[in-house]
Structure 1
Amino acid sequence: MDSATSDQTSKPGQHLAPTITRSVKVLVVGAFGVGKTTLIGAVSEIEPLRTEEMITTASVGVDPVDGLQGKTTTTVAMDFGRVTLSPEMALYLFGTPGQRRFWDLWSGLADGAVGALVMIDTRHLEDSFEVLDQLELRTKTPFAVVVNQFPDAPKYPAERLRAALDLLPQTPIVVCDARDRTSAVNALITLVEHALTFPMFQKVLA
């Protein structure tokens, strides 16, 4: 998806509020071009850290670009941002690279994370299968699935997506516009609420 277009003036200040007593690490994962950088840019109240490089001819035949016209850069290490979720809690967001050749980085980025947003593009649903496999293999953290609303993407009922992705009944599925801060924050809230159902994370999040 294109870079974030949400109104930057609506974001909180750059400094962490003195009321914050807990900081929580969250992963944002997904296939190439699904909107991870866009979502982090939309919600982050600090200038996001991005490790993007220009897409070159070396990517031809390696990175899938169908339906991604206009995409000129790609994340090669990680994205990083911060969002204050409540007066007491701040989330630190770590976005992972989407390309398979960078998936070895996931394990390190996932260390200490309480959950993950798995972003999907229904135009390329098949790309999400390996992402989910990698997430479960490398992190073992709770996750919520976020359907990024691309304008030309087909829309499917949640239960059809659940069946297609072989998700457990309790795994949340959220529809989101990654460019919109409110929509993206709501997805993060859904993930935190889901993580709270896991006893191992209740002390961290409660």
Structure 2
Amino acid sequence: MASSISDDRGMDSVPTPVKIVIAGGFGTGKTTMVGSVSEIPPLTTEEVLTEVGAGIDDLTGVERKRTTTVALDFGRITISRRHVLYLFGTPGQERFWFMWNDLARGAIGTIVLVDTRRLETSFAAIDFFERRAIPFIVTVNCFDNAPRYTVEEIRAALAIPDRVPVMLGDARDRESSKLALVRLVKHAMATALPASV
């Protein structure tokens, strides 16, 4: 019979997976965020935008966009020997939203990326995670040519309750993306804890 010490060592060698979803509208920077923090080359399902999608994909505000995610993005971050974050980026176009249920299943929480040039594309993602009671934070991806607003202005425009963190960031920047992930994990943990009496 194996000792409890050897059993514990065996358990320590298999890290606990922690699933996080990066969601948002079309062109908000989900693929970029996953790529900026992943310790492995991220798996992406980027395809070139074609004329076939011209009447379907609204490129207003993101006219220079040339590719789009058609299934998911995937990245990984090892936190410790015991914990690994798995990042799943959702597709942004409405015709691919049917995949969101599967991508969100088992997630501890979500970062909803927002682009102030196309704020209206964020409502569907916020509504999706609110309805499913999945903890989320809102991160404004501050594009170079985008209008600047305060966190309070973003919160008011998106009707985000005070309990949901809202922050400014840059999906291209590893440290900024890490800060968003830390904020989400803390929020998800606080949400999971029973309210003190």
TM over 0.5, shorter chain = yes
Partner of residue 56 from structure 2, selected from 62, 69, 86: 62
Matched residue, 2:168: 175
Q: Is contact 1:115–1:192 with CA below 8 Å preserved after alignment?
A: yes
Q: Secondary structure at the match of 2:21?
A: strand
State, as a whole percentage, how many aligned pairs show the same letter.
49
Report the CA distance between 1:66 and its aligned residue: 1.9
- Tell whether 2:149 aligns with 1:156: yes
Structure 2, unpaired ranges of 5+: 1-11
Matched residue, 1:40: 34
Matched residue, 2:102: 108
Partner of residue 180 from structure 2, selected from 176, 182, 187: 187
Describe the shift of the 1:49–1:122 C-alpha distance in structure 2 as closer, same or farther (beyond 3 A): same
What is the CA–CA distance in structure 1 between the aligned matches of 2:40 and 2:65, rounded to whole Å? Answer: 24
- Tell whether 2:190 aligns with 1:197: yes
Partner of residue 19 from structure 2, selected from 13, 22, 25: 25
Alignment of 1:85-96 (within 5 A): 85-86=79-80, 88-96=82-90
What is the letter of the counterpart of residue 193 of structure 1? K
Output one character per residue of 1:167-205: Cα deviation in whole Å (capped at 9) or x when no partner: 11011112111111111011000000000112369xxxx
Partner of residue 78 from structure 1, selected from 72, 77, 99: 72
What is the letter of the counterpart of residue 72 of structure 2? M
Q: Secondary structure at the match of 2:45?
A: strand
The CA RMSD over aligned residues, in Å, is 1.8
Q: How many positions carry a matched residue from both structures?
A: 183
Report the CA distance between 1:33 and its aligned residue: 0.5
Structure 1's consecutive aligned runs of 4 or more residues displaced over 3 angstroms after TM superposition are 18-21, 85-88
Matched residue, 2:91: 97
Q: Is contact 1:118–1:144 with CA below 8 Å preserved after alignment?
A: yes
- Tell whether 2:109 aligns with 1:146: no
Scaled by the length of structure 2, the TM-score of the pair is 0.87
* Stretch of structure 1 that moved more, 102-111 or 61-70: 61-70
